[in-house]
Amino acid sequence: MTVSTIISHEPATGEELWRGAAGDVEEAVARARHAWPGWAAQPLANRIELVRRFANEVRRTAEDFATLVARETGKPLWEARAEIEGVINKVEISVRAYAERSAQRKLNSALKGTAAIRHKPHGVLAVLGPFNSPAFLPNSHILPALVAGNAVILKPSEKAPASGEFLVRCFHEAGLPEDVLQFVPGGPDTGQELVVHAGVDGVLFTGSVQTGIAINRRLAVNPGKIVALEMGGNNPLVVWNTPIVADAAVLVIQSAFSGAGQRCTAARRLIVQDAMYDALMDEVKRLADRIIVGAPFDEPSPFMGPVIDPATADALTDSFLYFLSQGGKAIKHMTRPKGDLPFISPGIIDVTAIKERPDVELFGPLLQVIRVSSFDEAIGEANNTRFGLCASLVGGSPEDYNRFWSNVRAGLINWNRSTNGSSSAAPLGGLGLSGNHRPSAFYAADYCAYPVASTELEQPRAMLGVGFRDA
pLDDT tens column, 380-418? 999 999 999 999 999 999 999 999 999 999 999 999 999
Compare 423 and 143 and report the one with higher pLDDT.
Answer: 143
Domain boundaries, the chain: 5-231+435-456, 235-415
Phi and psi, residue 428, nearest 5°: -135, 115
Q: Cβ neighbours of residue 93 under 8 Å, at least 6 residues apart? A: 424, 425, 441, 442
Q: Residue 425 has what pLDDT?
A: 87
Q: Residue 380 has what pLDDT?
A: 98
Give me the catalytic one of 83, 158, 264, 381. 264
Whole-number Å distance between alpha carbons of 440 and 128: 14
Task: Please report, for residues 62, 127, 239, 437, the alpha-carbon distance to residue 146 in angstroms, rounded to integers and kept in the order given.
Answer: 21, 12, 42, 22
Mean per-residue pLDDT over the chain, rounded? 96
pLDDT-based confidence at residue 220 (cuts at 50, 70, 90): very high
Could you report the per-residue pLDDT of 149-171, keeping only the tens digit for each?
Answer: 999 999 999 999 999 999 999 99
Single out the residue of 369, 364, 419 nearest to residue 389, CA to CA.
Answer: 419
The domain at 5-231+435-456 falls in which architecture? 3-Layer(aba) Sandwich (3.40)
- State mean pLDDT over 306-327: 98
- State mean pLDDT over 324-337: 97
- State mean pLDDT over 173-185: 98
CB 386 within 8 A of CB 355: no
Burial grade of 295 (CB within 10 A; 0-12, 13-18, 19 or more): buried
pTM reported for the whole predicted model: 0.96
- State mean pLDDT over 62-84: 98
Q: Residue 111 has what pLDDT?
A: 64
Q: Tell me the three state secondary structure of residue 134.
A: coil
Could you report the per-residue pLDDT of 108-117, keeping only the tens digit for each?
Answer: 766 677 888 9
| Domain 235-415, CATH number (from 3.40.309.10, 3.20.20.70, 3.90.1170.50, 3.90.220.20) | 3.40.309.10
Whole-number Å distance between alpha carbons of 421 and 165: 28
Q: Cβ neighbours of residue 108 under 8 Å, at least 6 residues apart? A: 114
Phi and psi, residue 423, nearest 5°: -115, 135
- State mean pLDDT over 352-367: 96
Q: Tell me the three state secondary structure of residue 329.
A: strand
Could you report the per-residue pLDDT of 245-279, keeping only the tens digit for each?
Answer: 999 999 999 999 999 999 999 999 999 999 999 99
b/e map 145-154, b = 16+ CB within 10 Å: bbbbbbbbbb
pLDDT at 1 over 70: no
Task: Please report, for residues 9, 114, 125, 132, 279, the alpha-carbon distance to residue 276 in angstroms, rounded to integers and kept in the order given.
Answer: 43, 62, 49, 33, 6
pLDDT at 301 over 70: yes
Whole-number Å distance between alpha carbons of 378 and 318: 27
Q: Residue 217 has what pLDDT?
A: 96
Single out the residue of 70, 84, 83, 61 nearest to residue 17, CA to CA.
Answer: 70
- State mean pLDDT over 290-316: 98
- State mean pLDDT over 77-82: 98
Q: Residue 110 has what pLDDT?
A: 60
- State mean pLDDT over 299-320: 98
Single out the residue of 433, 419, 429 nearest to residue 267, CA to CA.
Answer: 419
- State mean pLDDT over 195-216: 97
Could you report the per-residue pLDDT of 8-46, keeping only the tens digit for each?
Answer: 999 999 999 999 999 999 999 999 999 999 999 999 999
Percent of the chain at pLDDT above 90? 91
Single out the residue of 151, 146, 57 nearest to residue 98, CA to CA.
Answer: 146
Give me the catalytic one of 72, 158, 230, 283. 230
Single out the residue of 249, 232, 234 nearest to residue 416, CA to CA.
Answer: 249
| 264 noted as active-site residue | yes
Compare 107 and 21 and report the one with higher pLDDT.
Answer: 21
| 230 noted as active-site residue | yes
